């Protein structure tokens, strides 16, 4: 083959190979996020460890501190001792008469799976409950010790819908003597994430006075419903709290605003 022909063939071969040589290398296959859904949810929700009325099983995370304020009357602080252990304090300010309390708690995760997290929580509280009577206003002091179990279930692979359940058993000790009361509380709720920063919430708590007398209210249901705006370092709950069967107050319930 003449030298000119060989040169032309070589030029054609080089030109054909150039696009392949200059093309971008294939992207690496994305690695699926194998972390538990609860941990992934916590990174985008500053208040993932709680509802409005109830406690969730998730913790705040190692080294993180969460501050909660509800209707400017209830202040709480949670500190992540480790990934699975959280310590907290709560203070109820006496904005409604003589009712107030202060307490401390610890919550520890005992099981964590991809779509499930389970935690134990223990708490002690001390305070007073105000009352009105024909003889005048007053208050009854109390101390309370509680232990409970909470679970968070994620129903889909993206963590969009989750269920939250819990049960708490408390002993109530009146100051100055008196009979010790035993109180159980059942908690249930659901969360549905609409966007990466908006979620709808529905939860209910059922306090049960196990030592109630014949004339006492031994059973009640309190419901909260609303929405949560949430980001990694900020969350805002906007909702309404309504005791079922209570015809007093607003029909839709009392407004409740919680900032984390």
Instruction: Say which CATH number the domain at 47 has.
Output: 2.40.160.40
The angle formed by the CA atoms of residues 66, 184 and 212, to the nearest 5 degrees, is: 135
Q: What DSSP state is assigned to residue 219?
A: B
Count structural domains, the chain: 1
The whole-number pLDDT of residue 85 equals 98
CA 115 from chain center: how many Å?
Answer: 15
pTM over 0.85: no
The whole-number pLDDT of residue 151 equals 98
Q: Is residue 23 part of a domain?
A: no
Q: Is residue 1 part of a domain?
A: no
The whole-number pLDDT of residue 39 equals 82
CA distance 180 to 17: 87
Q: Is residue 15 part of a domain?
A: no
The whole-number pLDDT of residue 205 equals 96
Q: Is residue 168 part of a domain?
A: yes
Q: What DSSP state is assigned to residue 103?
A: E
CA distance 68 to 52: 10
Q: Is residue 22 part of a domain?
A: no
Query: Pick from 35, 63, 43, 38: which is nearest to 230 by CA?
Result: 43
Q: Is residue 99 part of a domain?
A: yes
Structure tokens at 71: 């209707």
Q: Model confidence over 59-83: pLDDT tens digits?
A: 999 999 999 999 889 999 999 999 9
The whole-number pLDDT of residue 138 equals 72
Q: Is residue 110 part of a domain?
A: yes
What percentage of the chain exceeds 90 in pLDDT?
60
The whole-number pLDDT of residue 254 equals 92
CA distance 205 to 221: 6
Regions of the chain short of the pLDDT cut 70: 1-32, 96, 132-137, 212-218
Q: Is residue 219 part of a domain?
A: yes
Q: Range of 70's domain?
A: 37-259
The whole-number pLDDT of residue 41 equals 80
Query: Pick from 235, 198, 222: which is nearest to 48 by CA?
Result: 235
């Amino acid at each position: 083959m003449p030298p000119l022909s060989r040169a032309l063939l070589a030029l054609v071969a080089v030109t054909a190979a150039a696009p392949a040589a200059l093309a971008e290398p294939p992207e690496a296959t994305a690695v699926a996020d194998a972390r538990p859904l609860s941990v992934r949810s916590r990174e985008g929700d500053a208040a993932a460890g709680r509802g409005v009325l109830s406690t969730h099983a998730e913790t705040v995370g190692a080294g993180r501190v969460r501050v909660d304020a509800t209707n400017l009357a209830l202040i709480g602080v949670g500190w992540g001792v480790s990934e699975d252990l959280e310590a907290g304090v709560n203070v109820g300010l006496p904005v409604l008469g003589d009712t107030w309390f202060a307490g401390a708690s610890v919550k520890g995760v005992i099981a964590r799976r991809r779509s499930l997290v389970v935690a134990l929580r223990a708490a002690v509280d001390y305070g007073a409950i105000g009352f009105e009577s024909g003889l005048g206003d007053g208050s009854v002091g109390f101390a309370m010790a509680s232990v409970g179990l909470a679970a968070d279930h994620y129903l889909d692979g993206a963590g969009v819908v989750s269920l939250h359940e819990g049960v708490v058993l408390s002993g109530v000790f009146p100051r100055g003597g008196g009979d010790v009361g035993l109180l159980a509380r059942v908690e249930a709720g659901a969360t549905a994430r609409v966007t990466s920063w908006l979620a709808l919430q529905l939860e209910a708590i059922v306090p049960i006075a196990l030592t109630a007398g014949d004339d006492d209210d031994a059973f009640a249901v309190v419901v909260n419903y609303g929405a949560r705006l949430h980001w990694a370092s900020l969350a805002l709950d906007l909702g309404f709290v309504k005791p079922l069967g209570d015809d007093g107050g607003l029909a839709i319930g009392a407004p409740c605003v919680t900032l984390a």
